[in-house]
Amino acid sequence: MKNEDWTELFDGTRALPRDVRDRLLKSAHLVTAKEGKSIFSPDHIPDKLLFLINGVIRVSQTSENGREIVLYRVEAGQSCVLTTACILAEEAYNAEGVAETDIKAISLPRSEFDRLVAEMPAFRKFVFSAYSRRLIDLLRVVDDVAFGHIDVRLAERLIALCGGGNDIAVTHQKLAVELGTAREVISRQLVEFQKRGWLELSRGKITLNDKASLRKLSNN
Amino acid sequence: MKNEDWTELFDGTRALPRDVRDRLLKSAHLVTAKEGKSIFSPDHIPDKLLFLINGVIRVSQTSENGREIVLYRVEAGQSCVLTTACILAEEAYNAEGVAETDIKAISLPRSEFDRLVAEMPAFRKFVFSAYSRRLIDLLRVVDDVAFGHIDVRLAERLIALCGGGNDIAVTHQKLAVELGTAREVISRQLVEFQKRGWLELSRGKITLNDKASLRKLSNN
DNA sequence: TAAACTTGGTGACAAAGTTACAGAAAGAAA
DNA sequence: TTTCTTTCTGTAACTTTGTCACCAAGTTTA
């Protein structure tokens, strides 16, 4: 991307008056990160608000005994509010954001963030909207983990990850992290799906043969 | 409580200038609800911000198949932000807030809420603080449900619920809802604790005999 | 090529959730 | 009071999920 007007890309900034947007173009700056880079973690909480232009940030949580669960993903056009939330709260938490792809984002200083929230109703709405989005994402995770069945959740996730195509490049361990369970549980379930002819397994790759059945199991 | 200055009771309003507080005393009004009353639910989302003066609101989530889990509690001096969050997001969610005791609260109209967030840094900080508090509460719930062991979680909850004393007036079913599990699982675990001499069971009541052991199991 | 690491397969077992009842205690109705 | 009804608890059998231990095949590194 050329050095274009990124304020055009976000709901929260597109609606702002021209002079404010020009101010933003000066005060904020572009940051990039390679795939796999940690964007925030308990050790490293940035004091900026991130607006994601390109790529995906995967936010996950790791337990004491090392198991991990994916909470949600921040996609292009969205902002990463968990960090700003957690600057205020001084309680311990163990969520981490990792660049799932190479990413490009706008980094907005806290002072400017505060000022925008104060002065611009459109921006305020965007921020609150982002918060509620994440709250609801988490409600969904709680529901899934507490009450969901592993076969349904796995089918759901496979459909979500294939993205139009039929192949998914993913290890059983990665899928286990998606759902917050153990690798063996995923392997078992995948073999079961394979027996039903719904998919083919190979090292590091899953080929979906019968998306309809998977979709049916996952109720979408 | 007499018709006092409730703005003194909240972090978010105590720090405001006198004239703003006087304005609030006029625009907001006192609401009360009896124990057991539903404060908000998917069917009924109030468009006000609630400031809780007295009592406790229990926020829980119910699954399709009827099982339920307690997410967190809103206590006196806190505000109930989940509702405001969810007005914006149009996605479905199934959290409900129920008055766990008789409650007394201040109801602030949305317009006034917006204005305060815009104009008053102290209020803004309070609101963001409330959001992050809930986000972190939910992170904790996810961690517990996904990775926690039921004996540890139950011990923890028993210690939290006894509140200084030794008796807890609660049914096994209620405890199951606290942890998002089944009644039978709780019964089984309570019998185990009883065998170890940590507590006594009777209908609708649990008497803790050895809080130290429970506390040790729950790692606090 | 050999060694080290990653990925996946498997069996045995433990923990937690489900199903299906039964009986005791408390409260309401006759 | 006695009977009926509801609520609460106990329990056994079974299924699902999570854990542990270990091995084998593929991949990368030395």
| Domains, in order of start, for chain B | 6-146 (2.60.120.10), 149-217 (1.10.10.10)
Q: Are the beta carbons of A93 and B143 closer than 8 angstroms?
A: no
pLDDT of residue B92: 74
A219 touches chain B (CB under 8 A): no
The one-character DSSP state at B9 is G
Q: Which residue would you say has higher pLDDT here, B44 or B160? A: B160
Q: Report d(CA A11, CA B88) in Å as an integer.
A: 14
Q: Report d(CA B97, CA B41) in Å as an integer.
A: 6
pLDDT of residue B219: 79
pLDDT of residue B89: 67
Residue nearest to nucleotide C19 (CA to C1'): B184
Query: Which of A67, A69, A132 comes nearest B88 by C-beta?
Result: A132
Within A 58-117, residues with CB less than 7 Å from strand C: none
Residue type, B64: E
* B138 contacts A138? CB cut-off 8 A: yes
Nucleic strand D near CB of residue A205 (< 7 Å)? no
pLDDT of residue A220: 66
Helical (H) or strand (E) element with B49: strand B48-54
* CA B183, B188, B189, B194 torsion-angle sign: positive
* B88 contacts A129? CB cut-off 8 A: yes
User: Among B51-65, B88-102, B126-140, which stretch is predicted with the lowest mean pLDDT?
Assistant: B88-102
% of chain B exceeding 70 in pLDDT: 96
What's the mean per-residue pLDDT of chain B?
92
* B86 contacts A135? CB cut-off 8 A: yes
Query: Which of A61, A91, A135 comes nearest B143 by C-beta?
Result: A61
Q: Report d(CA A193, CA A215) in Å as an integer.
A: 12
pLDDT at B87 over 80: no
Can you read off the two tokens belonging to residue A48? 């900026």
H-only helix segments in B70-171: 81-88, 110-119, 121-147, 150-162
Which residue bears the tokens 């139950």? B154
Q: Report d(CA A78, CA A219) in Å as an integer.
A: 27
Ranges of residues in chain A whose predicted pLDDT is under 70:
1-3, 88-90, 220
Helical (H) or strand (E) element with B80: strand B79-80
Number of neighbouring beta carbons within 10 Å of residue A4: 10
H-only helix segments in A10-108: 11-14, 18-27, 81-88
**Cβ-based burial of B197 (10 A; exposed 0-12, middle 13-18, buried ≥19):** exposed
In angstroms, the CA of A160 and the C1' of C5 are apart by: 30
Interval B42-46 mean pLDDT: 85
Which has the closest alpha carbon to B209: B166, B148, B147, B156? Answer: B166
Strand ranges of the sheet holding A48-54, from the earlier edge strand across to the other edge: A29-33, A103-109, A48-54, A79-80
Nucleic strand C near CB of residue B26 (< 7 Å)? no
Tell which of B64, B131, B219 to mutate to test the A interface (max A CBs under 10 Å).
B131
Which has the closest alpha carbon to A52: A121, A86, A101? Answer: A101
Can you read off the two tokens belonging to residue A75? 């996609």
Interval B3-24 mean pLDDT: 91
pLDDT of residue B187: 97
Interval B12-40 mean pLDDT: 93
